[in-house]
Structure 1
């Protein structure tokens, strides 16, 4: 059992007060409630965060790296419980070893019509994880923060629509879109970010675009 580290306490304090960009603010009366779990732990290669690679056969966000998560069910009682339940279903993580620290402001995803609440948590007692729901999840990775903030793994990714945002290339995954934006914001909030070349721009690969367009 390990205590919440100072860097994560600082990150959580900033994350709960994060400012939501106008284009991510939920519209009144629209969207399905959803939650994702941003689970930080202390792994063999230092501090890390749990990410999944969604199945290419999924209905929404197919093939994309993401935080574990999904819809908030009536019996969940809120985003925190929903995020933990979904993480257990998708990765096999034991919720008993997870300490929820805060919820971030709700964000709206137009493509899936979801109002998503990111839940920040500390992996107090890590458990084995795997792709527990193969129909939805292709793989599970504990990604070291050191790899995420490494300038060699960071760049700006441009969608054919013209929108450009932060992206990461780690552990064989191209992390972009919603997940990359949230990661970028919380790493900066926690003082973990290091300077990187934001002028290095790449186009969204056709295979990623085709999956995202479903």
Structure 2
């Protein structure tokens, strides 16, 4: 998708009602954890902002995904968007996403033009409410990963994301007595599943509804 056209579509579509749960369910692990979609979420929920950052490169439109390092925790080794938990100094969740992207992949927050947000998504296992912020740069950035938080940056071509060929299924062993039947995107040899895949599913739905 041509970059200028992509930005014009997102500017318009992010102001309209979003598909939300309908799109999230398409890439949700099975059995579906219905806690994600409860109308009332826990009082002690942790707010988190992630950044879907589009930029032009050649004739295409790209955005970065990151791979988390291995660590003792819920999201060890997983593919994600740059982002993290809201801190007291953040004015709002948009500022959280911009700050975290600057810290994790070296994007100057003041250069990002924010277009809007996709639907919030709750992650029961870590008690995060994730707010996906959508923005863009007018140039291709020079990423500088924080190696304590990012083991790899995958420069993702939007054309690849929109290809049905990368949508696959697998069975993940989460623990000794728990498995998940999981749809995922195979992007540059990586398995992109869970909340990140569900957010990408809504992004795809938004773009495919462009008229």
TM-score range, shorter chain: 0.7 to 0.9
Q: Is the 8 A contact 1:154 1:167 kept in 2?
A: yes
Q: Does 1:100 align with 2:114?
A: yes
Q: Is the 8 A contact 2:118 2:202 kept in 1?
A: no
Of 51, 58, 67, the residue aligned with 2:81 is 67
- Structure 2 residues without counterparts, runs of 5 or longer: 23-33
Question: 1:207 matched to which residue of 2?
Answer: none
Instruction: Report the 3-state secondary structure (helix = DSSP H, G, I; strand = E; otherwise coil) of the residue aligned with 1:5.
Output: helix
Pair 1:95–1:126, CA change in 2 (3 A): farther
Pair 1:162–1:13, CA change in 2 (3 A): farther
When the two structures are aligned, how many residues end up with a matched partner?
190
Bigger relative CO (Cα 8 Å, ≥ 6 apart): 2
Question: 1:202 matched to which residue of 2?
Answer: none
Q: Does 1:90 align with 2:107?
A: no
TM-score under structure 1 normalisation? 0.78
Instruction: Report the 3-state secondary structure (helix = DSSP H, G, I; strand = E; otherwise coil) of the residue aligned with 1:13.
Output: coil
Pair 1:140–1:163, CA change in 2 (3 A): same
Question: 2:29 matched to which residue of 1?
Answer: none
Q: Is the 8 A contact 1:97 1:126 kept in 2?
A: no
RMSD: 2.5
Distance 1:7 1:126 in 2: 20
Structure 1 runs of 4+ aligned residues shifted over 3 Å read 20-23, 157-166
Pair 1:43–1:23, CA change in 2 (3 A): farther
TM-score under structure 2 normalisation? 0.79
Q: Is the 8 A contact 1:42 1:48 kept in 2?
A: yes
Of 14, 36, 39, the residue aligned with 1:12 is 14
Q: Is the 8 A contact 1:12 1:102 kept in 2?
A: yes
- Structure 1 residues without counterparts, runs of 5 or longer: 194-214
Shift of 1:64: 0.8
Of 150, 153, 171, the residue aligned with 1:140 is 153
Cα-to-partner distance string for 1:18-55 (whole Å, 9 max, x where unaligned): 43365423614131111111112222351112110111
